[in-house]
Amino acid sequence: MALSSPPSSAQVQAAYCNQTGCLRRFFLPILAMLLVSTGMILGLSRIEIVQAETPPPTPSTDTSEVASTIAPLFTPEILAWEEQILFWSEKYALDPNLIATVMQIESCGYILARSPAGAMGLFQVMPYHFSDGENPYDPSTNAKRGLIYLRQSLAIGGDPRMALAGYNGGITGAQRPPQTWPKETHRYLYWGLAIYQDAQQHLDHSSRLEEWLASGGASLCKLARDQ
């Protein structure tokens, strides 16, 4: 048998190209699928990392959603003002139960209330808060001046406790350490904060309010009933 002559270099190159072409046709689709899958895995991993690094949402401090009624625990003299309190709540962006609490311990709804220090009206507003020509005993005017100050105190203090302290002792005074607050401010918080917390739960009774009435508040409420 005759031996065949060795293949030329051109023939070897053509055969190699044909073989690698076959390899490319076979392996490239698989390689492409692997690359796509790897990219998807890496991409998903990156998404998971980004999500893990994203800080949790800050708890909402929005106070715009307030009660639509005041708690039934307030005295009848305050409950008689409920419609007006709800109006003021929307107008001045304050919780109506906070407004009712302040009115309860300031005047019990007695329009002509006046303190030895000179505070006047429903919200016991000091004279220097009024403009010339304003009637301090007019309920709308008194509420305007008192509740604007209460809202400022709440905004600066950041919570009802500091709002009540600022309302009674002055916003600047409430920013000092509590141990420097006057006794009157501590008494005001003793009454007001517990009553407000009961009102937030919409209770129909507050032992702290009953204690306030027994400590002299009842006489103020009688003036309100008789006016």
Q: Is the separation of the CB atoms in 142 and 120 below 8 Å? A: yes
Catalytic residue among 106, 134, 210, 211: 106
Catalytic residue at 106?
A: yes
Q: Is the separation of the CB atoms in 137 and 111 below 8 Å? A: yes
Report the pLDDT value the prediction gives residue 67, as an integer from 0 to 100: 65
Report the pLDDT value the prediction gives residue 16, as an integer from 0 to 100: 39
The whole-angstrom separation of Cα 194 and Cα 207 is 9
Enter the tokens of residue 178. 């509590």
Full-model pTM: 0.71
Give Cβ neighbours of residue 88 (< 8 Å, ≥ 6 apart).
94, 96, 99, 143, 147
CB environment 49-70: b (16+ within 10 A), e (fewer)? eeeeeeeeeeeeeeeeeebeeb
The whole-angstrom separation of Cα 92 and Cα 123 is 14
In terms of Cβ atoms closer than 10 Å to its own Cβ (0-12, 13-18, 19+), residue 102 is: buried
> DSSP secondary structure string, 114-182?
B-TT--BTTTTB-GGGSPTT--TTSHHHHHHHHHHHHHHHHHHH-SHHHHHHHHHH-HHHHTS-GGGS-
Report the pLDDT value the prediction gives residue 208, as an integer from 0 to 100: 98
Each of the 227 residues of the chain gets a pLDDT tens digit; together they read: 333 344 444 443 444 344 444 444 444 444 344 433 444 333 333 323 223 333 333 333 334 445 689 999 999 999 999 999 999 999 999 999 999 999 999 999 999 999 999 999 999 999 999 999 999 999 999 999 999 999 999 999 999 999 999 999 999 999 999 999 999 999 999 999 999 999 999 999 999 999 999 999 999 999 999 98
